[in-house]
Amino acid sequence: MIGGSSPSPSQVRIAAEVWWVESHWVILEIVKHGIGWAFASDHVIAASPATSDLVMPDLQFDAGDWPVALELAWHKQRPHGPAAEWLRARLGSTRISTAL
């Protein structure tokens, strides 16, 4: 878990103090214990045993798409095959919400 007041350059800062956590489940446990608040995916909340302990307000601003940082990584010493090239081109040219 990383705490601090400066965000990663590729992520939007929406609070003065930000905690970056590697696990959605850890985020829910932190919120459950009253340390703060978080945005979490509906499917993560629904599958969590902490669901009954969480309050989920009806958000008025959540009607549109949100940009999501997506990183592709592969081995430097292996050539990219046709599938990797297609995936890279597809993700680079298509919005995630319309690609699915």
pLDDT tens, 24-73?
Answer: 888 898 888 888 888 888 888 889 888 888 888 877 766 666 666 777 78
Q: State mean pLDDT over 10-20.
A: 70
pLDDT at 75: 83
pTM value > 0.75: no
Question: What stretch of H or E contains 2?
Answer: strand 2-4
Q: Please determine, for residue 5, whether its predicted confidence score (pLDDT) is greater than 80.
A: no
How far apart (Å, rounded) are the C-alpha atoms in residues 69 and 31? 23
Domain residue spans of the chain: 2-53
Res. 86: pLDDT tops 80: yes
